[in-house]
Homo-oligomer: A and B are copies of this chain.
Amino acid sequence: MPANPLSPAAFNLDPHLPDPIYRQLMAQIRRLIAAGQLRPGDELPSVRALATTHAVNPMTISRAFSQLESEGVLQRNRGAAMTVADTPVDSPDGLALLQPALRRLVSEARQLGFSREALLLALQDVYDNDKDPAS
């Protein structure tokens, strides 16, 4: 039985973002695992459930699942829902997953001439006011 019946609505898929949908899903699954909200053995929503909930083609969902499986993050179970792999390969901590976004920000801030303090202030501002990260 599912130790953790994750709702399909736990994900946020936006076809208008530059990132392809299947990559958005991959990134979010990885983050949920890193954040401990998805643990080894937990079931993921079925391809069909996710597809209908988000009005997306099942193949698009399937693509994300397959890729994560080939990376050892998810596990196929014949005839049953996919689960988080027992020993998520190379499971990076949250900090590692955040690095690309951090580096990108710092690199751009430096090019724009931001001081350390100005950058920190700008971040706090966005953190405090960007309550709804959707869309």
Using CB atoms and an 8 Å cutoff, list the residues of chain A in contact with chain B.
Answer: 15, 20-21, 27-28, 31-32, 34-37, 67, 70, 78, 94-95, 97-99, 101-114, 116, 119-120, 122-124, 126-128, 130, 133
Contacts and interface: CB of A to CB of B under 8 A. Distances in A.
A113 B70 contact: no
Given A101-B105, A105-B101, A127 B119 contact: yes
B110 A133 contact: yes
A35 B69 CA distance: 29
A102 B122 contact: yes
A112 B99 contact: no
B116 A124 contact: yes
Given A35-B112, A70-B70, A120 B119 contact: no
A46 B133 CA distance: 36
A108 B100 CA distance: 10
Contacts of A101: 101, 104-105, 108-109
A123 B111 contact: no
A94 B6 CA distance: 39
A133 B120 contact: no
Given A108-B98, A126-B102, A35 B113 contact: yes
Contact of A106 (B32, B107, B127): B127
Contacts of A128: 116
